[in-house]
Amino acid sequence: MKSYIVSFCLMLLVSGCVMSTEQKMNQKVDQLVGQMTLDEKLDMIHGEGFNIAPVERLGIPAINMSDASMGLRITPHPAAKGLEPSTAFPASILLAATWNPQQASRYATAVAEEFRARNIHVLLGPGINIYRHPLCGRNYEYLGEDPYLAAHMVVPYIKAVKKVGVLPVAKHFVANNSETQRKNSNTVVSERALREIYFPAFKAAVQEARTPGIMNAYNLLNGTYCGENSWLLKEVLRNEWGFDGMVISDWTSIWNSEWAANSGVDIEMPGGKQTHALAPEDIKRMLANGSVTEAEIDSKVKNLVRPCLQMGLYDANYAKPSLNRREAHAAVALGTAREGIVLLKNDEAFLPLNPAKDKKIIVIGPTAKRTPTTGGGSGGVTPENPISIVDAVRTIYPSAQLLEEFDEAAIAGADVVIVCAGLNDKQILMSYNGAGSIAEEQATFNKRKKGLVIEGEGRDRSTFSLPAEQNTLVCDCAEANPNTVVMITAGGGIDMLPWIESVKSVLWLFYPGENGCQAAAEIVAGQVNPSGKLPMSIERRIENNAANKNFSLSWDMKTPPKKAGVRDYWDVNYDEGVFVGYRHLDAENIAPLFCFGHGLSFTTFSYSDLKVHQANGGDVTVSLVVKNSGSRDGKETVQLYVGDAESSVPRPPKELKGFKKIQLAAGESKPVTFELDRAAFSFWSPEKKAWTFEAGEFDLFIGSSSRDIRLNRRMNLDSVN
């Protein structure tokens, strides 16, 4: 009895210590905020350029922020500030194409280290909006079309950033899936589509990764701007999901002072004279007339202070210059490209090249010499010395010839022709390496910009096609020489029908970062076995995309606008609901050009021994054996999809509910196991306004892509909870 009492007392003591730690933090926040004057509070929630304003008399420094999707973006260029340039990492969508959560962690760690080395506290990323349509200008910044994949890549990313001591801000919350008139567009979307498609990555960021920051989107959501939407920011984000961090407005994204003051957004960026919704004079007026309370203002300030205290951002010795490990970070960037570049097509196993016979190599195309490393806008990082495709090829094949213009005789006489095509952006054509070069490169851009399809922030692509001259070049090369390889740099899908049947191989580089072209050259040479898988579908025709009729505002702006406060807006209807990407293509039995999850290897993999077990609690265990049945070592991403055989609501034929990337030596076999809980079989019921499981038959599909299903099993799930 005595030992029991002692144990019980110890338990109470330990519990008290845990509670005491939490209470101490809350007390510290309360005390700090309690010492602030009203003016200091209002300065803090109104922002200060790229900073949270300091309260120097209380020892609170300015909290510095910077954009980051592909690395630390410093503007103007770092050289102008006397800083060492940041590492330009591959695009986020290439990171998603690795299907490797461990690589997401390594990538995020490296990016965060460069932040902390430069005394920048807040990383404005990662971007986790859904790839809804290929023409969205910022698809390259996001993690693809599937909510399960995006959620399972963002969680290790956010955890890694936090571990370094940098505060991540997941963005843009929510349903910001186009750039055209983004501040004047109203996303009209069902709650079911929000819950099943557009919310999951954000929910995982909050509940699994415990992100300390969220950024609201520019657009309206069902008639209310996201930054002024109390249902979104208070009811869902805070009350339902338990978020206790800071909500940051996207730059100039909130407009109505009263709505914003009471919506749950904590800080208006960039503050100053550019933004006025949370301007101090307006808040004082609302406090005087009772349209906002001081308790509401205090809650905003506490939401800003709490995560900063928790993460040690107020520490005097926060900066860690020793973390600026550029060589190590470049290695992470290269490793990401090696795992994320996708081999889309490889007829007759043309790649890898045979050094005994493929001796005369020609490289041609607009992106051969000045390869785009990233898209444009806040996600872009301008590299100091990027490696182009032709430079990378020459590191392995020194005699490779660069052709500036099409030469039929030279093309016909080559053993291999590598055509470099894709999308581009102004900043990628501008070199910052030497004095006076900016003006020269600007002039070059002005001459060439009519031939570009631009992909970047603030604008959507104008067309699904490559520029006409690029299609002509690929077709002419393939006609002159059947041994043609195409390398594409792009963040979203493109029309390949003019030439896809005529070329031997296609490599999708996305935007590969400062040294990712080296990875592409290594794949061509067989030094690296490709293992990237598409995180989005590539349609044969743009009309095959579910959102195509309701993507851009360009044809809707002729209709009379609606109003939100003082601003006009137009509706963008998400009529496709949950049928986004492969969900739509599968439901309508439309063959994509390249399906979600697709990616070829230089080896082959066989799947066998499927076993399915349902536990008493209702959870399902799925196991199988994967064998490398080829002659090369390689990596395979095993994908598990679930389909509901019969449902009371329309559901996609299958949805991704598990994936694992494994390394296998030639001839090696490994077991792969998936655990599925009841949520994997559930849908959001519009009637019940809750996640709902309906007992019955479900299909399990295991494959190498969404269309390459190797094993399947139908099983009956009862109503056991």
Q: Identify residue 499 by its one-letter amino acid code.
A: W
Q: Identify residue 608 by its one-letter amino acid code.
A: S
Structural tokens at position 686: 């519009």
Residue 601's nearest CA partner among 485, 705, 487 is 705
Residue 319's nearest CA partner among 170, 166, 433 is 166
- Report d(CA 490, CA 136) in Å as an integer: 11
CA torsion, ordered 507, 508, 514, 517, to nearest 10 deg: 0
- Report d(CA 640, CA 675) in Å as an integer: 10
**3-class state of residue 313 by DSSP:** coil
Question: Based on the number of CB atoms within 10 Å of its own CB, is 18 exposed (0-12), middle (13-18) or buried (19 or more)?
Answer: exposed
Residue 202's nearest CA partner among 184, 183, 185, 221 is 221
- Return the bridge partners of 639, or none: 659, 703
Residue 557's nearest CA partner among 214, 293, 185, 290 is 185
Instruction: Give, as one character, the DSSP assignment of residue 183.
Output: G
Residue of 67, 250, 266, 460 with catalytic role: 250
Element (H, E) at 715: strand 709-717
Q: Are 126 and 159 in contact (CB under 8 A)?
A: no
DSSP of 245-263: SEEEPPTT----HHHHHHH
Q: Over the range 408-426, which residues count as b (16 or more CB within 10 Å of their CB) and which as e?
A: eebbeebebbbbbbbbbbb
Structural tokens at position 319: 């900066």
Q: Are 660 and 671 in contact (CB under 8 A)?
A: no
Element (H, E) at 172: strand 167-173
Question: Based on the number of CB atoms within 10 Å of its own CB, is 555 exposed (0-12), middle (13-18) or buried (19 or more)?
Answer: exposed
Tell me, yes or no, if 556 is annotated catalytic. Answer: no
Q: Are 610 and 638 in contact (CB under 8 A)?
A: no
Q: Are 364 and 417 in contact (CB under 8 A)?
A: yes
- Report d(CA 403, CA 251) in Å as an integer: 44
- Report d(CA 625, CA 263) in Å as an integer: 51
Q: How many CB atoms lie within 10 A of CB 48?
A: 17
Structural tokens at position 290: 């009772």
Q: What's the farthest any 2 CA atoms get from each other in the chain? A: 96
Ramachandran angles phi, psi of 241, nearest 5°: -90, -15
- Report d(CA 355, CA 437) in Å as an integer: 38
Element (H, E) at 698: strand 696-703
Residue 246's nearest CA partner among 290, 195, 293, 309 is 309
Helix axes 326-340, 516-525, angle to 10 degrees: 50
Instruction: Give, as one character, the DSSP assignment of residue 456.
Output: B
Element (H, E) at 484: strand 484-489
Kindly list the distances between the CA atom of residue 368 and the CA atoms of 224, 404, 421, in Å, as whole numbers in the listed order.
45, 9, 8
- Report d(CA 5, CA 686) in Å as an integer: 51
Residue 307's nearest CA partner among 244, 229, 400 is 244
Catalytic residue set: 250
